[in-house]
A and B are shown apart, each in its own frame.
Chain A
Amino acid sequence: MKLSGDASVYLSVLAIALFIVGWSLFGEDYSFDSKFLPILIGGVVVLLASAGLWNEVRVQKKNEVAANMSNTFVRESWRGYFVHFGWVAGFLLGIYLIGFLLAIPIFLFTYSRRLGSRFLPALVASLTVSVFIYGAFEFGLDVKLYRGLLFSWLS
């Protein structure tokens, strides 16, 4: 039996909570005050996630066919979400490598083009927003934006 998306999330939460409880009990030599609440709340989360998982698996067994159909739907809609999240992750990597000042206009222009903006509005928006962010953060808030690995290495 394939696990539904819901069941997978319950399982992940269950694993994390079990790790927290286990780590608090055996991983570190914490005092009682430090580990009591992580164990207590972690225990409650384990119970809740188990109840949710049990409920989900029970329902899934009842409606195996329907669940398979919904799994297909979930896979399809998830793909779109992950593609766009991939752009965010790419932007994160871009910031790390070339810094905010270059990554922002490049990301704005390419991503808005990817989403269907025409060339000129995408170019104008990316330049305007980049200038606004540079002005607002570097001068307004006195935040020195991260320059990136490449420029740190070059300088």
Chain B
Amino acid sequence: MTFHAIFDALGNFANLQMWLVMTAGTVIGLVFGLVPGISGMLALTLMLPFLFFMTPMVALPLIMTVMAIQFQGGAVSAILLNVPGTPGSSATLIDGFPMTQRGEGGRALGAAQTASALANILTAFVALAVIPLILPMIVALRSADMVFVILLGLTFIGVLASGSMIKGLLSGGVGLLISFIGFHPTTGAERFIFGYLYLYDGIPLVPLMLGLFAIPEMVALAATGGNIAESRATINGMADVWQGVRDVFRHKRLVLQSQLIGFLVGALPGVGASPATFIAYGHAKQSSKDPESFGKGNVEGVIAAESANNACESGALLTTLALGIPGSPIMALLLGVMTMHGLIPGPDMLTTNLSLSITLIWVIAISGVLGIAICLPLAPRLSRIAFIPGSLLAPIVLVLALTGAFSYHNRYEDVVVAVIFGLVGMVMRRFDYNRPALLLGFILGAIFEKFFFIALHADGPYFFVRPISLGLILAIVAVIAIGPVKGLMKRVKLARGEVKA
């Protein structure tokens, strides 16, 4: 079945529309990746109103391309301007910018773009190879197991992607509570609508996302003021760039190891690209023959970071498609778009919608090629985009966000919802709560409730006494216990005087 679906999905690339969509996605991803105030998350949020009007076969490849390409754009501003365009490009600038200062910006750029493209291509093939292996496990999941898969996802993203475990879990819990607002599809009860008909269908997804992600970022940008990028740098010419390309092929082993790290970390729900890049960077430094030069402009640092952050996307996509749990915070938005188009995240995506899922994996591979083809010649010119002043960027994004919220259902109330969630997002951002966890709880709330009652009515109150469910419950307990256990061990060691306070 998988083999057939792989070729079936390839057939989707035989039409011009798909290539136009991917080219548009590549340019959008590069531009949004380049501008440091606008992360991939915000870019996708702003695209939501437009995605709503597209078919799933156009909307999903478009955002997948943007997701896959954003790091290539982020690397340009990290290397040339010393400002990471995306959080996942933070490790790139450690060695990338010193190379630019040394006059080797082109070489760093060539290495970063080639490593990124290779990571997109190779890890997409790994993801394709892994699907037949995990498919029997996914098919074996029943409603009872899915209840705990969703809880595990919320726990993962809440605990691992937050500074504070309590705040992370609270964010997911509040997201679930918000999802309970509105008409209950099974019982017909009108929950928490207080006679207000607008809430009958629940809180609308697009205004919630726009409010939660776009408004707080722009308010913060306006409050802090100033331009994002200040120093200008140029590259010497294409010969330098080719040197960087050759560097990547000289460090094949490092490329593969960093990609593996990125893929595995990306597959962990909720972790995202930043930790993967720093792990890969640390590994590169440890295994290098010249570790002292790291941080001073060693091309290996750039290669490791860029291989890992791009490889992360394939791993994250696999977890998102297979289990309906976002492998990275940005994948929570992909889930949102899937829900918007009536697709049910989770095992269905690897059974009923396998062809679409494989198409998305192909998109990652092909966008790697498109990215390098567009980015290498245009990068120096594109880097000027990073100089858009915050005083113009913030008002424009805010206008797009509120207009986008209105266009979802042509209702003024949606704009009000966006602004209310803008305030919620602002508080969450300020106090370090986990906004992707809230979004995930909100998106998965309806499915969680459905699986919960199917399990309860089919298997009775002890529905969780199944080997898979029990294993998942153990995993949830383990994820929650990691932090406290580590703290306890540290205190014990401190008491014994084994480590310094």
Contact = CB atoms under 8 A, between A and B. Distances in A.
Nearest to A95: B415
B395 A34 contact: no
A112 B392 contact: yes
Interface in B355-398: 389-392, 394-396, 398
Interface in B142-158: none
Given A20-B192, A92-B402, A95-B402, A80 B170 contact: no
Interface in A9-41: 9, 13, 16-17, 20, 23-24, 28, 30-31, 33-35, 37-38, 41
Question: What class of interface size applies to chain A in its complex with B?
Answer: 35 or more
B57 to A, nearest CB: 19
B173 A116 contact: no
Interface in A107-153: 107-108, 111-112, 115-117, 121-122, 125-126, 129, 133, 137, 141, 143-146
Contact of B410 (A85, A121, A144): A144
A115 B453 contact: no
A146 B400 CA distance: 14
A48 B419 contact: no
A147 to B, nearest CB: 11
Nearest to A141: B53
Contact of B189 (A30, A52, A92): A30
A133 B184 CA distance: 36
Contacts, number: 161
14 contacts: A33-B184, A33-B186, A35-B191, A41-B180, A81-B430, A85-B215, A88-B419, A91-B398, A95-B402, A95-B412, A108-B396, A117-B391, A144-B410, A146-B415
B170 A45 contact: yes
Given A30-B187, A143-B407, A144-B410, 7 more contacts: A20-B177, A33-B184, A37-B449, A48-B173, A55-B166, A115-B394, A141-B407
Contact of B166 (A20, A51, A91): A51
B220 interface: yes
Nearest to B173: A45
Contact of B396 (A9, A23, A125): A125
By CB atoms of chain A within 10 A, which of B164, B225, B389 has the most? B389
Nearest to B401: A88
B170 A13 contact: yes
Interface stretch (B79-87, B124-132, B344-352, B420-428): B420-428
A81 B167 contact: no
B150 to A, nearest CB: 12
Given A81-B220, A133-B399, A38 B180 contact: yes
A2 interface: no
Nearest to A80: B223
Contact of A41 (B50, B173, B395): B173
Contact of B392 (A87, A95, A125, A145): A125
Question: What class of interface size applies to chain B in its complex with A?
Answer: 35 or more
B166 A89 contact: no
Contact of A33 (B187, B395, B416): B187
Given A45-B174, A117-B389, A6 B412 contact: no
Interface of A: 5-6, 9, 13, 16-17, 20, 23-24, 28, 30-31, 33-35, 37-38, 41-42, 44-45, 48-49, 51-52, 55, 77-78, 80-81, 83-85, 87-89, 91-92, 95-96, 100, 104, 107-108, 111-112, 115-117, 121-122, 125-126, 129, 133, 137, 141, 143-146
B403 interface: yes
B443 to A, nearest CB: 15
B219 A88 contact: yes
B407 to A, nearest CB: 4
Contacts of A92: 402, 415-416, 419
A121 B23 CA distance: 30
Contacts of B452: 37
B28 to A, nearest CB: 14
A20 B170 CA distance: 15
A96 B412 contact: yes
Contacts of A141: 49-50, 53, 407
B395 A115 contact: yes
A126 B189 CA distance: 46
A81 B223 contact: yes
Contacts of A49: 170
B222 interface: yes
Contacts of B412: 95-96, 146
Contacts of A137: 403, 407
A121 B180 CA distance: 46
A137 B192 CA distance: 33
By CB atoms of chain B within 10 A, which of A77, A91, A112 has the most? A112
A13 to B, nearest CB: 6
Interface string B403-439: 1001100101001100100110011001101000000
A42 B53 CA distance: 35
By CB atoms of chain A within 10 A, which of B166, B391, B395, B452 has the most? B395
Contact of A129 (B169, B219, B399, B430): B399
A100 B391 CA distance: 21
B423 A34 contact: no
Contacts of A121: 392
